[in-house]
Amino acid sequence: MKKNCILIFACLMLTGCGIYNRYEQKATAPADAFGSTLLGGSATKGESSIAQMSWREFFTDPKLQKLIEQVLANNTDLNSARIAVEKAEASLKAAKLAYLPSLVFSPQGTIASFDGGKATKTYNLPLQLSIDIDVFGSITNKKRAAKAVLLQAQMQKEAVRVNLVSVTAQQYLLLQVLDRQMEILTQTDSLWRESLRTQQSLWENGKAYSTSFNQMEASYLNVKTQIVDTRRNIRAVENAICQLLAVTPQHIDRQKWGSSMLHHAEAQGDADQRMFDTKYLRLGVPATMLENRPDIRMANHAMEEAFYNTQAARSAFYPSITLGGTLGWTNSAGGLIVDPGKLLLSAFAQLTQPIFARGRLIANKKIAQLTEEDLQKKYVQTVINAGNQVNEAMADCMAAREKNTYYRRQVQVLRDAYAGTHELMDNGKASYIEVLTAQESLLNAQLSEAMNMYDAAESVIALYIALGGGSEGTGNAQ
């Protein structure tokens, strides 16, 4: 019988060795996550990437840097993410302490009297100790799962942090572009106001028709309404930034558009060219770059947690062993009461082997395995989504750069057309309607050019973040 027990115990030990295995990533991501058609694939062969720059290196505007620092210091969502990390740290600490014995002091006292007899007083002052022996990895796997939960919380905090960097920069640049549009509209307002006065004077002196004056006034009033809308949009963006800062609405200090570039100071050319010239937007190798993204790292740690949860579910099929003992002082010795009390010592060992748990253990194991399988597929999808974001952002950069060339040429052509039409009108060879049309076309082109510059900057920021930039692990200036 003794030999059989030893043999059974040895078999259980050998069978349970696998439940101590450490997590190894099984899900593999596509090698061409960025897409094979992206710049003919040439952009993925470089050893460096813009994502390896810290956000302080990427965003060179000192006022934007200060604003980002304030947002990271004050934002409520980031503070909540920090608290979630601290909670996970507390859970991990508790999981580590599960290896240690528990110690309980539970004093007891009774007073009893039978049939009106003399009352008897008994007391018991025990100090109870118990410890679970982690033979089959139950405590170990729960501790490793708790660590994976902590890593997920840290990555969630990092994801919130990166998103705040991105949103703050985008909102700041939007303010700059709106300021640029306001500048264009203000200049147009001043110019058209003088033209309207001239046209009114001509009309009052019978040298122009009232229709010309009315059309000019209608266009001038349209510029006025655009100024009001732009001013309102500026207020809305400033308020949005104040929400990120967790402060009451106030003015956001900023530089003029084009004062500082986003990256690659080594680029040659004008401000717009330096901002989104695609030849300076180095992507790097997908497998290396995407590992920097918090969401992908979080998905990997979620698989790790699921793996250890599956191991813990397997451990539940094996025996649990508990050792314990009591050290105390009591005056109750069975049916006798002694005075003074005596020292009491006891020890025990307990083995609990599940035999039939109404399918609960099997169900828990099956659920854990299915969860692990589900998270592996979700990890692959997360990588695919990340690669798609990189591809989309790069395509947006390329489109904005190409459109910028057309917008520049369009503005220049319309500016020349306006000047030429105005000169023809002065010589009586063109009507004021033609001048008005040229003015409106020029204004619309200037506003569109400014917004396209913002779209370009936004796409560069999106590319930087999609590649894993902006996290604490990138660059040297965090």
* Residue 279: predicted pLDDT: 64
Q: How far apart are CA 333 and CA 124, in angstroms?
A: 10
Q: How far apart are CA 51 and CA 466, in angstroms?
A: 8
Q: How far apart are CA 337 and CA 202, in angstroms?
A: 123
* Residue 267: predicted pLDDT: 45
Chain-wide mean pLDDT for the chain?
A: 84
Q: For the segment 326-339, what is each residue's pLDDT rounded down to a tens digit?
A: 988 888 876 677 77
Does residue 67 belong to any structural domain of this protein?
yes
Averaged pLDDT, 70-80: 95
* Residue 250: predicted pLDDT: 95
Averaged pLDDT, 122-140: 89
Q: Is the pLDDT of residue 103 over 70?
A: yes
Q: Do residues 128 and 432 touch, judged by C-beta distance below 8 A?
A: no
Q: Is the pLDDT of residue 225 over 50?
A: yes
Averaged pLDDT, 404-422: 89
The alpha carbon of 321 is separated from its chain's Cα centroid by a whole number of angstroms, namely: 43
SS3 321: strand
pTM of the model: 0.83
The alpha helices in 124-254, defined as continuous H runs, are 138-204, 210-245
SS3 196: helix
- Count helices and strands (H / E) in the chain: 11, 5
Q: How far apart are CA 18 and CA 12, in angstroms?
A: 11
Rounded to 10 degrees, the C-alpha dihedral 56/61/66/69 comes to -30
* Residue 42: predicted pLDDT: 38
CATH code at position 367: 1.20.1600.10
Q: For the segment 234-278, what is each residue's pLDDT rounded down to a tens digit?
A: 999 999 999 999 999 999 999 998 777 776 544 444 555 555 666
Q: Is the pLDDT of residue 477 over 50?
A: no
Parent domain of 380:
19-99+134-318+353-466
Count of domains for the chain: 1
Does residue 87 belong to any structural domain of this protein?
yes
Q: Structure tokens of 299?
A: 């998905």
Does residue 14 belong to any structural domain of this protein?
no
For tokens 């060339």, what's the residue?
Answer: 405
Query: Which one is predicted more confidently, 156 or 51?
Result: 156
Residue 130: strand pairing partners: 102, 324
* Residue 111: predicted pLDDT: 86
The alpha carbon of 384 is separated from its chain's Cα centroid by a whole number of angstroms, namely: 17
Does residue 347 belong to any structural domain of this protein?
no
* Residue 313: predicted pLDDT: 93
* Residue 41: predicted pLDDT: 38
DSSP string, 242-275: HHHHTS-S-PPP-PPTTSS-SS-TT--S-HHHHH
How big is the chain, counted in residues?
478
Does residue 323 belong to any structural domain of this protein?
no
